Structure 1
Amino acid sequence: MPAFLPPTLVPILLLVASNIFMTFAWYGHLKHKSAPLIIAILASWGIALFEYCLAVPANRFGSAVYSTAQLKTIQEVITLLVFAGFSVLWLKEPLGWNHLVGFAFIAFGAFFIFHKW
C-alpha cells in the first residue's frame, strides 16, 4: 500500500479505477452494436482483467480499515457514480429525476452501513 496515502483512501481510489474499467467492459460495447458479439465479449473480458487487477488489491488493502460490508457498500456507491457519469458522457443517455431518487435511496442505505448504532 502506498505510504503517502491514508489507508482509508487507497481502496477507494483503486475501486474508482476498477469501476471505470468494469463499466467500460460491461457497457462500452453498447456504443458499437454493429461489432460482432464475439468481439464485444473478448474485448470486455480483456478490459475486465484490468478491473480485477485493481479490485483485488482494493479489497485486500481495504479489509485492513473497512469491514466487508463497508467495502461492498463503497464499491456499490462508486459503481453508481461511475455509471451515472459513463451513461451521460459515453452513451449520451440522460439521467432523470427518478434515477437521482433511486441513487439517493442507495446513498441512504450506505449511511446505515457506516453509522455506528
Structure 2
Amino acid sequence: MNERILSPLLLMAANVFMTFAWYGHLKFKGAPLRWVILASWGIALFEYCLQVPANRIGSNVYSAPQLKGMQEIITLLVFAVFSTWYLGQPLKWNHWAGFAMIVVAGWLIFLD
C-alpha cells in the first residue's frame, strides 16, 4: 500500500486504541485507579504497535512536524466520535470551533 495512505490509516487505528486507553475508563469511575492504570497501559501497548510503524513508514514521505500535525488532527476526529458515541458527551459549538483552529494549524504545517 502507498506510504502516503498507509501511515494515516495506521495513525487512525492507533488513535482508536489510545483514546480508549486515555478516556475509556471514564465510564467506570468506580473502578480502582490502579486497575484502570494497568488496563490503560495494556490498551496503549496496541497503540504503540501501530503508532511506531505509522511514524516510521510516514517519515519516508512526511516530515516529523507534518506527522505530528496529522496525528493531532486524527486524534481530534477520533475523539469527537468517541466522546459522542462512547461517552455520550457530544461536542458543543465551542469545542468544534477550537478543533477547527487546530485543523487550520495542521493545514499550515503542510504548506511549503
What TM-score do the two structures reach when normalised by structure 1?
0.94
Identity of aligned pairs, percent? 62
Structure 1 segments, 4+ long, off by >6 Å, are none
2:95 to 95, 99, 104: 99
Query: 2:51 corresponds to which residue?
Result: 55
Give the 5 Å matches for 1:1-117: 5-116=1-112
The gaps in structure 2 that reach 5 residues or longer are none
Structure-1 separation of matches of 2:40 and 2:19: 10
How many corresponding residue pairs?
Answer: 112
> Of Structure 1 and Structure 2, which has the larger fraction of its residues in helix?
2
Query: Can you list the C-alpha shifts for 1:61-94, whole angstroms capped at 9, x where unaligned?
Result: 0000000000000000000000110000000002
How far 1:6 moved relative to its partner? 1.5
More deviation in 105-114 or 57-66?
105-114
What TM-score do the two structures reach when normalised by structure 2?
0.98
